[in-house]
């Protein structure tokens, strides 16, 4: 009989989106004539940019003749795509090396798989509320998790506590689910803390393209010293609408080395390279061809059109919350709007209240951690007309 990884018994049932779907289905069954507007899930709705479609088609055409056919590619990604990431960072004023870049099929897989590089015996620091992948992947490996509170008092942007030691720190900025984004000074506090603790920061910048405030850093490498302590995960899912197309990139700087117990230096870049070449066979050539196209200047200009569309939705939602005097976070440098449930309601109570009275579906904050108990997440990824109608209904709710 195989001995199982019994850490799986320690996972909480991931019931958030299942429970939402269940409650919506039940309501629809009882009220088939009511139109439900969904502003809950974190998935995009705009079609791909023309430049992406063209490059994806060209990728398919390349497969049609033996001269241009592509079989297995480099596990780390094609050089032209790694270089496109380097050039994209350069546009944002940040210098990284092409061999620090690893192309993959998603940031969810990379943030989940990165744990392969670390022993079980580490203190992992994770903010609450949080994107569930960080928590569950560490529980699967049996690691000890310390939570740090993100709450209204700290603007959902917790800063390091010098009295608490951590070895591995997860940061997501702009944040899912709270929409809060760290400024450079705050990120520097984390980098300084990581260096003082000889810790590593796992930085998820999946929403960097939604940053409009030029003062806010779009990469942790905007902070001096970060290359010595941080891995950055980014994805084209939200930037370019690639949630169904699948392409992401992870930056593991060669400066990132730690002493092993035998005194030898170990490089996280070499380890990740070894991990990927062993367990991953590269993202699809066709998709990478599309990725390089959207990472170009022209591609990013097209991406920004879609992002502006979502940002208008975010403004429609934010304006309504402001009008109602409801405290909220995000919505400005993020597609998410995270607000306090009115009249002291708890998030699931508010979920039912909205569903029953105005048929608008969002995500209860409690699903992301204990600090989300009285908060609610709406996304700007819906259609304009639906967002407008949802807010008109919301206006009549109170
Ligand atoms: C959407 C999202 C991602 C992107 O994941 P992919 O696997 O690349 O689609 C990464 N991190 C967070 C926090 C997200 O919300």
CA distances from 115 to 68, 138, 190, 196, 242 (A): 37, 7, 20, 22, 24
**Cα–Cα distance, 154 to 147 (Å, whole number):** 15
pLDDT score recorded for residue 14: 74
Cα 235 to averaged position of ligand 1 atoms, centre (Å): 7
Print the SS3 string covering 337-389: EEEECHHHCCHHHHHHHHHHHHCEECEEHHHHCHHHCCEEEEECCCCHHHHHH
pLDDT score recorded for residue 398: 81
Show me where the domains of the chain are located: 12-47+299-397, 50-295
**C-beta 235 within 6 A of ligand 1:** yes
pLDDT in tens, 337-348: 999 999 999 999
- Adjacent-strand bridge partners of 127: 148
**C-beta 248 within 6 A of ligand 1:** yes
Query: By alpha-carbon position, which residue is closest to atom 2 of ligand 1?
Result: 206
- Adjacent-strand bridge partners of 235: 248
**Cα–Cα distance, 390 to 66 (Å, whole number):** 52
**C-beta 377 within 6 A of ligand 1:** no
Tokens of 41: 């899930």
C-beta of residue 274 within 8 angstroms of C-beta of residue 116: no
Query: By alpha-carbon position, which residue is closest to atom 14 of ligand 1?
Result: 206
Out of 85, 202, 237, 377, mutate this one to test ligand 1's pocket (max ligand atoms within 8 Å of CB): namely 237
CA distances from 7 to 10, 120, 147 (A): 5, 12, 18
Query: By alpha-carbon position, which residue is closest to atom 4 of ligand 1?
Result: 107
pLDDT score recorded for residue 41: 82
Whole-prediction pTM: 0.97
* Assigned CATH topology for domain 12-47+299-397: 3.90.1150
Out of 106, 109, 235, 243, mutate this one to test ligand 1's pocket (max ligand atoms within 8 Å of CB): namely 235
Cα 130 to averaged position of ligand 1 atoms, centre (Å): 12
Closest CA to 238 of 380, 112, 135: 380
Query: By alpha-carbon position, which residue is closest to atom 12 of ligand 1?
Result: 206
C-beta of residue 286 within 8 angstroms of C-beta of residue 55: no
- Adjacent-strand bridge partners of 214: none
pLDDT score recorded for residue 12: 87
Helix and strand counts by DSSP (H, E) for the chain: 12, 15
**Cα–Cα distance, 320 to 316 (Å, whole number):** 6
**Ligand 1 atom closest to the CA of 236, numbered from 1:** 8
Per-residue pLDDT of the chain (398 residues; tens, 9 = 90+): 999 999 999 998 777 888 999 999 999 999 999 999 999 988 999 999 999 999 999 999 999 999 999 999 999 999 999 999 999 999 999 999 999 999 999 999 999 999 999 999 999 999 999 999 999 999 999 999 999 999 999 999 999 999 999 999 999 999 999 999 999 999 999 999 999 999 999 999 999 999 999 999 999 999 999 999 999 999 999 999 999 999 999 999 999 999 999 999 999 999 999 999 999 999 999 999 999 999 999 999 999 999 999 999 999 999 999 999 999 999 999 999 999 999 999 999 999 999 999 999 999 999 999 999 999 999 999 999 999 999 999 999 98
Whether 50-295 and 12-47+299-397 are alike in CATH topology: the answer is: no
**C-beta 172 within 6 A of ligand 1:** yes
**Ligand 1 atom closest to the CA of 242, numbered from 1:** 9
Neighbours of 300 (CB within 10 A): 18
- Those residues with Cβ within 8 angstroms of residue 274's Cβ, 6 or more apart along the chain or in another chain: none
CATH number for the domain formed by residue range(s) 50-295? 3.40.640.10
C-beta of residue 40 within 8 angstroms of C-beta of residue 363: yes
């Amino acid at each position: 009989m195989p001995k199982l990884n019994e850490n799986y018994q320690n996972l909480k049932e991931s019931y958030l989106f299942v429970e939402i779907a269940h409650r919506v289905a039940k309501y629809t069954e009882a009220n088939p004539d009511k139109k439900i507007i969904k502003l809950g899930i974190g998935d995009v709705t705009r079609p791909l940019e023309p430049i992406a479609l063209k490059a994806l088609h060209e990728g398919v055409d390349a497969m049609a003749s033996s001269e241009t056919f592509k079989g297995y590619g480099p596990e780390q990604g094609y050089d032209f795509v790694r270089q496109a990431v380097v050039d994209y960072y350069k546009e944002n004023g940040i210098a990284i090396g092409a061999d620090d870049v690893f192309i993959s099929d998603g940031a969810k897989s990379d943030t989940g798989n990165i744990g392969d590089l670390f022993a079980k015996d580490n203190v992992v620091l994770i903010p609450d509320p949080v994107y569930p992948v960080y928590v569950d992947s560490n529980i699967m490996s049996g690691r000890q998790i310390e939570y740090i509170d993100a709450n209204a008092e700290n603007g959902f942007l917790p800063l390091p506590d010098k009295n608490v030691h951590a070895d591995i720190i997860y940061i997501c900025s702009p944040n899912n689910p709270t929409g809060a984004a760290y400024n450079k000074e705050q990120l520097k506090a984390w980098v300084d803390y990581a260096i003082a603790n000889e810790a590593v920061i796992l930085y998820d910048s999946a929403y960097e393209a939604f940053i409009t405030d030029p003062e806010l850093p779009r990469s942790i490498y905007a902070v001096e010293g970060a290359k010595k302590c941080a891995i950055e995960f980014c994805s084209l899912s939200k930037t370019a609408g690639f949630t169904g197309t699948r392409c992401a990139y992870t930056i593991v700087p060669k400066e990132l080395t730690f002493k092993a117990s035998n005194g030898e230096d170990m490089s996280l870049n070499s380890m990740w390279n070894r991990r990927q070449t062993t367990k991953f066979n590269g993202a699809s050539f066709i998709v990478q061809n599309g990725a390089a196209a959207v990472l170009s200047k022209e591609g990013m200009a097209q991406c920004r059109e879609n992002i502006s569309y979502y940002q208008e939705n975010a403004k429609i939602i934010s304006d309504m919350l402001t009008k109602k005097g409801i405290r909220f976070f995000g919505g400005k440098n993020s597609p998410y709007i995270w607000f306090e449930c009115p009249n002291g309601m708890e998030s699931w109570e508010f979920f039912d209240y909205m569903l029953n009275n105005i048929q608008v579906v969002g995500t209860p904050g409690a699903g992301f951690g204990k600090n989300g108990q009285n908060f609610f997440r709406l996304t700007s990824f819906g259609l304009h007309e639906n967002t407008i109608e949802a807010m008109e209904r919301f206006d009549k709710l109170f």
